[in-house]
Chain A
Amino acid sequence: MNVTRGFTGRPRVHRPGLPPGQYDAREDWPVLSAEVTPDLSPADWSFRVDGLVERPHTWDWDAAHALPASAYEGDIHCVTGWSKFGVRFGGVSLDAFLSVARPHGSATHALAYSHTGYTTNLPLADLTGGRAWIVWEYDGAPLPPEHGGPARLVVPHLYFWKSAKWVAGITLLDHDEPGFWERNGYHARGNPWEEQRYAGD
């Protein structure tokens, strides 16, 4: 251990649910994206599932909203160090989209991409079984553009850069293919409990 002279840190209360190296951002919801927030209206938004699927499919705003509603209420964790407790997102479970597109048995990974061209990779197992959502509501109101509105992916058990803002689709693959931050030195999977922040963690 490399103790820093004179550093004690802030008085801390143990907060269950806080992964290692994270702090509770409380009311704050910092914005972290390397691109200009796009001007994307619900009418211009669509979501596509393709690649290794039986039936590639694209949903527009209304078609996506016609799927069974599903909410996430819980915590989110950003690789830059903050976590946010008890956030509420409303949208549709990714399982609902996948059950229409029907992934082939050979599909093992997904590359999620946004309407701006941002990409991020995920093992398919992290997107199924009620662990991922396409959301358009935050705290009962429309998701703000700087947080990915009109709609974003939410994969809350991984660091939040995996939860692509302005999501446009996922392509299913039989191999892992690094996305934007993963090509920039970030970890391929990004599990906050294992502190998988950067390549090599």
Chain B
Amino acid sequence: MTETTTPATRFAVPGRIAVSGQAASRWQTATLTEIRRETPRAATFRLAVPEWAGHLPGQHLLLRLTAPDGYVAQRHYSIASAPDASGHIELTLDRVPDGEVSGWFHTVARPGDTVEVRGPLSGFFAWPGDRPALLLGAGSGVVPLMSMVRHHRARGLTVPLRMLVSARSPEELIYAAELGAETTPVFTRSAPPGVPVGRMAAAHVAPLLADRPAGGWEAYVCGSNAFAEHASRLLVAAGQPVERIRVERFG
């Protein structure tokens, strides 16, 4: 056997996170049990997945729909719920105009319907709750971050957790009623009286980095590619080390 001469990576899978290849390779039937509206464009879909192997906050799954002629459409969705033993997981889907899969969920799906899921996938954008976490999301990019926030609360963790989320308006802020003191919303089109309108900026990020906990932040950025590029640059400019920024791009 040869030794590899590859340089030591500064961009590594956290050794503390194990991914189950076995869980990832099997399609399972998931039954829709509940639909909750979040905003005019987004809704949460609760699914019973009796043999779900469990997940870490931040992970996603692959979901597939099958047409009568055998055609399948598969898409990735982040898991919104915290890991728990309920035998259920939740997804929150934005309604994409003309969207093939999100369109089915928003216009056809009803409790009792079945879809197929495979996962959880990717141990990279995952947070087991052991290190201070700084979360930056936009639009439905808040979904995997909310799983982290919910996990933090459910376990009563005391490790620092802060979240910045960008939404077009208060009406479009997903999980608005559930967000607490850990979260600072940023509104890009319209905001409540007294709250400025504008995109996420250095001024939002700087105080969080100035207030860096011992050992520093693990940063998680999630949203569209444009948001991911913008937010990760803000973090680097504010002094967050690049190898401690994990990015999930929804496309």
Contact = CB atoms under 8 A, between A and B. Distances in A.
A113 B72 CA distance: 34
Given A34-B246, A81-B75, A184 B13 contact: yes
B66 A4 contact: yes
Contact of B71 (A12, A36, A199): A12
Given A6-B104, A174-B1, A31 B243 contact: no
A77 to B, nearest CB: 14
Interface stretch (B3-11, B164-172, B174-182, B196-204): B3-11
Contact of A10 (B100, B108, B109, B115): B100
Interface in A102-122: 111, 113, 116-119
Interface stretch (B21-29, B43-51, B139-147): B21-29
Nearest to B70: A1
Contacts, number: 145
A13 interface: no
B96 interface: no
B130 interface: no
A111 B3 CA distance: 12
A142 interface: no
A171 B251 contact: no
B202 to A, nearest CB: 16
A36 B115 CA distance: 34
A78 to B, nearest CB: 10
Most B C-beta atoms less than 10 A away, residue of A117, A174, A175: A117
Contacts of B102: none
Interface residues of B, number: 59
A181 to B, nearest CB: 8
Nearest to B240: A36
B12 interface: yes
Contacts of B125: 34
B245 A30 contact: no
Given A199-B24, A199-B25, A2 B251 contact: no
Interface in A142-179: 146, 168, 171, 173-175, 177
A27 interface: no
Contacts of A116: 10-11, 242
B1 to A, nearest CB: 6
A33 B247 contact: yes
Nearest to A200: B25
A2 B104 contact: no
B115 A184 contact: no
Nearest to B24: A185
Contacts of A80: 76, 251
5 contacts: A113-B7, A183-B13, A184-B124, A185-B123, A199-B25
Given A9-B71, A117-B12, 15 more contacts: A3-B67, A5-B114, A7-B65, A7-B104, A10-B73, A36-B245, A51-B2, A52-B2, A111-B6, A113-B7, A173-B2, A177-B4, A184-B123, A198-B21, A198-B118
- Sorted nearest first, the 7 A-B pairs with minimum C-beta distance are A200-B25, A117-B11, A117-B9, A199-B21, A6-B108, A4-B65, A185-B24
